[in-house]
Amino acid sequence: MELRMVVCVKQVPDPDGPPSSFQVNQETKRVTPQGIPPVISPFDENALEAALRIKEAVGGYITLLSLGRGFSKAVFLKAMATGADRLLLVEGNSLDPQALDSWSTARLLAAAIKRDGPYQLILTGRQAADTNAGQVGLGIAQLLGIPSISLAQKVEVVEGGLRVERVLPDGYEIVESPLPALVTVSHEVGELRYPPLPAIKAARSLPQDSLRLEDLGVNLLGNLLQLTRLAPPSRERTCVLMEGESPEEAAEKLALRLLEDKVL
């Protein structure tokens, strides 16, 4: 039987943008990106790369699933062109990523997966680059009642199920699980391959489906967290710059200054 995989991907403002491109509005409690493009959240790209490698190794069919609003066609075409087979979008005005918490997001995604399935393998990034919460992947698995493994640095489909290398603070562990299962993927897996230009054009003709909130059933919107305040980070300090004729001279001054100030 063909291995059916779904990779959950989220569109976010490019997290590599400089600090000035994330405008924090305390009034509306929203972050407004300035002059940075939308991208697929990087760990979700890693998840897609993991799926592509599995497809190369044992075959399979990859559905990309995204939930949100204001989708950029170009972003998804490029992701599809790396070797995915189908796009499934859950789009709606009420599906504002900055207004949904992990609980709502995972419930919606789990409902979409259940409706669209069955799937043998669900892949997500370890955490989204905007919320940095790291809950949705494990949450989906819990809601669907399937095993899940977090922080994968390598994912293989083997006889009888999955073999995953899971990142630990001082190394990794090997976890084996039957399918169906969910894996959250870390960047150690490797970057998403770059699609050739013709593939991006060809991706337009790949199957694409969409679901609306109404299709997923009612009462899925209901946050457990309430955002009460949003503030810019207070991280800036006053920096004493070491002057010198040369870097060597400045380095010597820096050493002496650290000792003088009893930093060392």
For ligand FAD, the binding residues (CB under 6 A) are 15-16, 42, 129
Q: Which of 22, 71, 85, 117 binds another protein (CB under 8 A)?
A: 22
Paired sense of beta strands 181-185 and 121-125, if any: parallel
Residue 123's alpha-carbon distances to 59, 94, 136, 141, 183, in angstroms, are: 16, 25, 11, 10, 5
Closest to another protein by CB, 16 or 209: 16
Residue 111 has φ and ψ, to the nearest 5°, of: -65, -40
Closest to another protein by CB, 198 or 222: 222
Closest Cα to residue 153, out of 172, 176, 134?
172
Positions in 127-166 near another protein (CB under 8 A): 127, 129-135, 138-139, 142-143, 147-151, 153
Q: Residue 138 Cβ, how far from ligand FAD at the closest point, in Å?
A: 17
Q: Which two tokens stand for residue 237?
A: 């300090």
205 binds, among another protein, ligand FAD, none (CB under 5 to 8 A by kind): none
d(CA 139, CA 221): 15
Q: Residue 128 Cβ, how far from ligand FAD at the closest point, in Å?
A: 8
**What is the residue-wise DSSP string for 133-187?**
---HHHHHHHHHT--EEEEEEEEEEETTEEEEEEEETTEEEEEEEPSSEEEEE-G
134 binds, among ligand FAD, another protein, none (CB under 5 to 8 A by kind): another protein
Query: Residue 104 pairs with which residues in a beta bridge?
Result: none
Closest to another protein by CB, 46 or 63: 46
Q: Residue 16 Cβ, how far from ligand FAD at the closest point, in Å?
A: 5
Q: Which of 126, 182, 185, 213 binds another protein (CB under 8 A)?
A: 126
Q: Which of 198, 205, 219, 235 binds another protein (CB under 8 A)?
A: 235
Q: Which two tokens stand for residue 147?
A: 């095993």
Q: Residue 85 Cβ, how far from another protein at the closest point, in Å?
A: 28
195 binds, among another protein, ligand FAD, none (CB under 5 to 8 A by kind): none
Q: Which of 35, 178, 196, 217 binds another protein (CB under 8 A)?
A: 178
d(CA 230, CA 214): 31
